[in-house]
Amino acid sequence: QDAAKAVGLTLAENAAVDAAFSHILRLRLDQQLADLAANASERYSLDLSHLHGIDKAILRESLKQARRLQLRLKLNYAL
């Protein structure tokens, strides 16, 4: 939360960013576990064709949230 305050995020924005990144990480871990179970080579991307509709929708919103954070950081730090 200290980092969130440093960049000017509200508690609600911080919670949204946390939830977004948690969802993305969960999807990546699920993909890695499925690859391990199938003895498939490790991938560094998500196979969107295997995601349920709700996971796709949440992923889309999570990526929007990540983009908002990138823009906030870019503005705050003149990147």
Q: What is the pLDDT of residue 76?
A: 86
- Does residue 67 register a pLDDT over 90? yes
Contact partners, residue 28, CB within 8 Å, separation at least 6: 46
Range(s) of the domain holding residue 71: 2-77
Task: Say what angle helices 11-37 and 53-77 make with each other, to 10 degrees.
Answer: 130
pTM for this structure? 0.82
Per residue in 65-77, is it b (16+ CB within 10 Å) or e — as a string? Answer: beeebeeeeeeee
Residue type, position 58, single letter: I
Nearest to 45 by CA among 69, 28, 64, 63: 28
Model confidence over 15-38: pLDDT tens digits?
A: 999 999 999 999 999 999 999 999
Domain count, the chain: 1
